[in-house]
Chain A
Amino acid sequence: MPYQFLEDIAIADIAFEAWGDTLEDAFIAAADATINVMVENLESIVPRETREFMLENESLDMLLFDLLQELLYYKDSERLMLRVEKLRIQQKNSLHSLQAIARGELLDPDRHHTRVDVKAVTLHRFRLAKTERGWEASVILDI
């Protein structure tokens, strides 16, 4: 599990750190951490539905913000709990783009052990950085 929830910050909300060797891995870890706040057992999410989407942003960290926000959009608009399966991040001139294939299914409270709803991704202390270990993200989710 390449992410951890933090105990001592964001007491009313939920803070996590996510990491990966590559940028794509770190993004996927952050996506899983976000869904894991809502569903305790990620393995219970069966990949029955697929959503493919493309996102663009001038800044790389805001591209991560957009990805997490997109997952919240599917959660509310279609009640879909999605895990990002494939991700490709590219940069053309000053624009970063992301192509994602996400799979999952309709929320089923009988099978998915739900925890708390995520309202939004906040920008407070939001951080994406390249480190010696690869890429790391810090995120606070509004609960």
Chain B
Amino acid sequence: MAITEVIERISDTIWELPVSYKEGMRVPARIYGTEKLIKEMDETVYDQITNVATLPGITQYALCMPDGHFGYGFPIGGVAAMDAREGVISPGGIGFDINCGMRLVLTNLTYSDVKPHLKQLVDMLYERVPAGVGSTGFIKLSKQDFRNAVEQGARWCIKKGLGWQEDLELTEESGCIEGADSSKISEKAVDRGYNQIGTLGSGNHYLEIQVARRENIIDEPLARTFGITIPDQIVVMFHCGSRGFGHQVATDYLQIFLKVMQNKYGIKILDRELACAPFDSPEGRDYFAAMKCGINMSFVNRQVILHRIREVFSSVFARSAEQLGMHMVYDVAHNTAKLERHMVGGQIRNLLVHRKGSTRAFGPGTEGLPERFKQVGQPVIIGGSMETGSYLLVGVPTGAQTFFSTAHGSGRTMSRTKARKQWRGEALQREMEQRGIYVRSASWAGLAEEAGGAYKSIDDVVEATERAGLSKRVARFAPIGNVKG
């Protein structure tokens, strides 16, 4: 039966699959998106999100954001809030790339300032921020130092002179999530990550120079609050995560959970990738402490990359990063599980909110927001494909319906294997250059796989989040230079 025949339309942008859809569902599944997005969505999304709805402790709904697409375990775009006492923690609900996220940086330069230097900037960024398969970073540190770094997060970077004090306040969790315990991570995880600090990785990871054109400022007062103040202002956005370290942490605990899940805890799941353990169990607590090291590694990685970006701009424009106004707007995570307090049925509940390919989007006044965002809400950074554009949004009060979660990107509609048959990297690079976007990539094939045509429309996705009351658009940025992993 086609999904459109069983899915119930709750509103223009909310669609529901009831618990009767699949045996074992504890809560309904709610998928966010316009009718167009819902129709375009891969049917696997519905299967995966209803599998999520069977997990112990899931509260209210299994949720999928408008950029939802085929994942493993959870769909990408999946959100599940587990009761902290009765619920589980699952690496498949976080993703292998723990704390994959986005960082947005301002400049006081305009498009006309940057245009003559664009190639030089992108070429230098490509050299200074390693990308692609097996890339290693410039920071050499001992394995013990690495363990310290993943416990301290971005604070470790600031101590080493790799950033500004204000960067911490502008990062989720102030750049260091409390409770990271490096005794819970394997030597293999350290081996895979300790030489990768300051690297982008590959796939859909990127570093982009973008322009905020006047006509693309959607909410001027809010844009101003976030530092978008001059016409055709240049910003830098990048997307990356915890590299091999995070991937190994997730893999290690996936295997541990598989061993204890059924034998010790009697939990049955519909997909091995949903392997889990009770959050309140020795294995669950260990993973939470190890996963937090992954969160911090990612903050370290993005902090070091920011440092390199500031160095490059400073070198090209012969002015300090401070003079160039290179302040952060914010750093958001979109692959995490965090213990948060949310109102459910009139009661405050402690919930472990899994967001896999979903951005936290706290509305105004939410606990945990930096002072400067208390009045307006949390900045939300959503990256589009390298050919189209990206958005800055803000969290809104009605986001409570999804535990303050929103989309994280545009979401793919075409497989990598198919995309590389449809586009050629070299030709794509030339065409993009003619359109005013200069791109450098570690791989032609990798570039072809990231063609804009392989993605949903970012405009449709963010509009759906706004119409559904999950987040509100502030500004759209157009790409002019891109370093692709």
On A, residues with C-beta under 8 Å from B are: 5-15, 38-40, 62, 69, 72-73, 75-77, 79, 81, 107, 109, 113-117, 119-126, 140, 142-143
Q: What residues of chain A lie closer than 8 Å to B188, measured between beta carbons?
A: 73, 77
Minimum CB distance partner of B271 in chain A: A124
Report the minimum CB–CB distance from B185 to chain A (whole Å). Answer: 14
B251 and A116 within 8 A (CB)? no
B133 and A69 within 8 A (CB)? no
Instruction: Add 14 more A-B contacts to A12-B70, A77-B188, A116-B485 (CB < 8 A).
Output: A8-B415, A11-B69, A11-B70, A12-B412, A38-B133, A62-B258, A75-B133, A76-B134, A79-B136, A113-B445, A115-B445, A117-B202, A124-B92, A143-B204
* Contact sample, A vs B, 13 pairs, CB 8 Å cutoff: A10-B70, A11-B412, A11-B414, A13-B70, A72-B192, A73-B248, A75-B244, A79-B136, A115-B443, A115-B449, A116-B445, A117-B202, A124-B73
Minimum CB distance partner of A40 in chain B: B445
A10 and B415 within 8 A (CB)? yes
B247 and A116 within 8 A (CB)? no
A109 and B251 within 8 A (CB)? no
Whole-angstrom distance between the alpha carbons of A114 and B447 in the complex? Answer: 11
A76 and B417 within 8 A (CB)? no
Answer yes or no: B216 CB below 8 A from chain A CBs: no
Q: What residues of chain A lie closer than 8 Å to B196, measured between beta carbons?
A: 76
Contact flags (1/0) for B205-248 with A, using CB distance below 8 Å? 00000000000000000000000000000000000000110011
Given contacts A79-B134, A116-B133, contact A122 B413 (CB under 8 A): no
A143 and B273 within 8 A (CB)? no
Contact flags (1/0) for B38-63 with A, using CB distance below 8 Å? 00001010000000000000000000
Q: What residues of chain A lie closer than 8 Å to B180, measured between beta carbons?
A: none
Given contacts A11-B69, A109-B132, A123-B273, contact A117 B485 (CB under 8 A): yes
Q: What residues of chain A lie closer than 8 Å to B275, measured between beta carbons?
A: 123
On B, residues with C-beta under 8 Å from A are: 42, 44, 69-73, 76, 92, 95-97, 132-134, 136, 188, 191-193, 196, 201-204, 243-244, 247-248, 250-251, 254-255, 258, 271-273, 275, 412-418, 421, 442-446, 449, 485
Minimum CB distance partner of B421 in chain A: A7
Report the minimum CB–CB distance from A65 to chain B (whole Å). Answer: 8
Minimum CB distance partner of A59 in chain B: B258
A142 and B72 within 8 A (CB)? yes
A69 and B44 within 8 A (CB)? no
Which of the listed residues A8, A75, A116, A143 has the most CB atoms from chain B within 10 Å of its own CB? A116
B273 and A124 within 8 A (CB)? yes
Q: What residues of chain A lie closer than 8 Å to B248, measured between beta carbons?
A: 73, 76
Whole-angstrom distance between the alpha carbons of A124 and B414 in the complex? Answer: 19
B191 and A76 within 8 A (CB)? yes
Whole-angstrom distance between the alpha carbons of A76 and B417 in the complex? Answer: 23
Given contacts A11-B70, A73-B192, A107-B133, contact A116 B416 (CB under 8 A): yes
Whole-angstrom distance between the alpha carbons of A143 and B193 in the complex? Answer: 16
B136 and A11 within 8 A (CB)? no
Report the minimum CB–CB distance from B311 to chain A (whole Å). Answer: 23
B418 and A109 within 8 A (CB)? no
